Chains A and B, each alone.
Chain A
Amino acid sequence: MPEGVSRIVEDLRLANLTKQFGETKAVDNLSITIPAGSFFALLGASGCGKTTTLRMVAGLEDPSAGQVFIGDKDITELRAFQRPVNTVFQSYALFPHLDIYENVAFGLRRRGVKDVDAQVGRMLELVELASLARRKPSQLSGGQQQRVAVARALINKPDVLLLDEPLGALDLKLRRQMQIELKRIQSEVGTTFVHVTHDQEEAMTMADTVAVMNAGRIEQLGHPADVYETPHTIFVANFLGQSNLIAGKKVTSGEIVEVAAFGLGFKMPASRNVAPGMNIVVGVRPEKITVLDLHDEDKLPAAHNRIFGVVTDVSYTGVSTQYLVETPWGQTIIAFEQNSIVGDRCAVGDQVVLGWAPEHTFGLDPAEGLTSGLDKAVVELESDPEA
């Protein structure tokens, strides 16, 4: 869309947006600003309120309180068909009685736009479907239908494009392909994309900004790498990737915070600790940990945090090897090791030392509980001594 360049795109702003269904608050006092032209992902488990948020922006759901702004314009009271916002629906919702061309032309025709033919032609080029213009949606593959859904929404040059789990129905390989495709289209048209997904990998690969949502609130918002490397809540640490969490007490504060737990000391830069009190949960991502045989402990840099334990499981996954290590206090630590080492790997039953840099350590507030953000079924399975 070359003429898109001259268009002024404006920020999408949600102010104290709330949606109440009976007693439960699906969306709880949400206030965020999504910068114009960015690719924004709302990430969360099903039922966290992410789709409801999207529907309120689209105008398909009325908020119980709060406002939606585009630029300075309050669009809260506008009805869905009056908003400069378009949606790519989960399972696409293509009109089955219309062919691809008419599906894509639908929005233009409703607004009485003149050069429908040229615009539809260009849009179908963009999503590489020009040859299928006269097919019906049912005659297309899942990936093709998905592209029609994107084209049908984008042709209207909305200020904001909303994507509701757009890749959920596709198989893994196609999903990867479409992730790249969507990213390409977004950078080509420069529209603000708001992408709702429960797939953390998808959110991290595609988005400039990720917002992790839980129980109607945003837990943490930021660049994917920042949110992953420095989670601010136990929910985020557990939901976005995996984390090893050890509960302890603060010993010293200052530039470097030191935490004592189970007779060991863990250090981290004060900037990576968000716990307000004396109780701190020490966290580290599995791929940051080096696994060494106990005899090789002197190979670890002196400043590294370390845990001693016994290997209980080794699984080779191709790219990396996953170790489960049991600590003397009975906790299982997960560590990933790149399969780039030469020589023997550690084996089950080996006494090992786990080491990682203080800069890879983060400190969290224990108030919400160590299992927050974990899959409930997994928690039950792991706490069951029989399993």
Chain B
Amino acid sequence: MRWIRQNVIGAIAILVLLYLFLPIAVVIIFSFNNPVGKYNLSWNEFSLDAWSQICGVPGVCSSFVTSIQIGLITTTFATILGTLIAFALVRYRFRGRSSTNLLIFMPMATPEIVMGSSLLALFLNLSFPLGAVTIMIAHIMFIISFVVVAVKARLQGMDPRLEEAARDLYASPYATFRYVTFPLVLPGIIGAALLGFSLSFDDFIISFFNAGTLVTFPIYIWGAAQRGIPPQVNALASLVFMSALLIVLSAQLVAWRKRRSLATR
């Protein structure tokens, strides 16, 4: 009885973690499969083909690169615009401030299918050629909301006395921003950018409506799923997962090293 009581939380935790990581594990494992036929659904034999010829299937790598490019450009614009909006909303009292605060949530609350189709209607009405530009316009629009929310939270959580202290210590308005405000808000901005990139890279519905003939990575996978997904897709997905993991781990490592160097001092 006692043994169960002491270990029940641990057991539940393991189950939850399994639940979370099993799908990812399956994706990684099947990137080493050599499937029989078109569908990579049942294990046949171990193979490194998908990894050694990662661009072996036409369209996989080009769509992957397209998605990365769109993600980077989108994130840059959305982060800059969203950060500026967040500063305006937190720091200034202006007419229409509260309605802006409310409207900024709209893109997050709107179902993607509605947003995707209405954007398509808009672009068609304007006879705007569909392609990378329309996808980026659409992505920037909804990612701005996420950036604003993340940066705003960070700004609001900041002690206003820190900026007063900077001004008191001979920092001009520019220096106060450069040496106090910006460094303190930066983690929020970086977090917002990472989130923005993954949202853009991952987006299928809105991109699908506004892509025209352009094929992004999610669109490629969707198309491939009809005909059988090649294991190269698993390999690329594993790569994405591992680079995300790498970012998290290196951040942890830096923090850990800092702590240790302080403890020994």
Which residues of A are in contact with B by a Cβ distance under 8 Å?
58-60, 79-82, 85-87, 89, 91, 93-97, 106-107, 110-111, 134-135, 139, 152-153, 156
Contact = CB atoms under 8 A, between A and B. Distances in A.
25 contacts: A58-B168, A80-B164, A81-B170, A81-B172, A81-B176, A82-B170, A86-B168, A89-B165, A93-B164, A93-B165, A95-B166, A95-B180, A96-B162, A96-B184, A97-B184, A106-B169, A107-B170, A110-B169, A110-B170, A110-B179, A134-B262, A139-B262, A152-B169, A153-B168, A153-B169
Given A81-B176, A93-B161, A106-B166, 12 more contacts: A80-B167, A86-B168, A87-B164, A93-B165, A94-B165, A95-B180, A97-B183, A106-B179, A110-B171, A110-B172, A110-B179, A156-B170
Contact of A81 (B162, B171, B262): B171
A81 B165 contact: no
Interface residues of B, number: 20
Nearest to B170: A110
Contacts of A85: 168
Contacts of B171: 81, 106, 110
Contacts of B260: none
- Interface majority SS (helix, strand, loop, mixed), chain B: helix
B45 interface: no
B265 interface: yes
A139 B265 CA distance: 13
Nearest to B180: A95
Pairs A-B, 8 closest by C-beta atoms: A107-B169, A93-B161, A80-B167, A93-B165, A110-B170, A87-B168, A81-B170, A110-B171
Contacts of B179: 106, 110
A60 B169 CA distance: 12
B175 interface: yes
Contacts of B184: 96-97
Interface in B128-173: 159, 161-162, 164-172
B262 A89 contact: no
B38 to A, nearest CB: 54
Contacts of B162: 93, 95-96
Contact of A60 (B167, B172, B175): B167
Contacts of A82: 170
Contacts of B169: 81, 86, 106-107, 110, 152-153, 156
Interface centre among B168, B179, B184, B265 (most CB of A within 10 A): B168
Nearest to B168: A87
A81 B161 CA distance: 14
Contact of A110 (B161, B175, B262): B175
Contacts of B161: 89, 91, 93
B209 to A, nearest CB: 43
A95 B183 CA distance: 10
Interface centre among A58, A107, A135 (most CB of B within 10 A): A107
Interface string B164-201: 11111111100110011001100000000000000000
A135 B165 contact: no
A58 B179 CA distance: 20
B20 to A, nearest CB: 32
Contacts of A139: 262
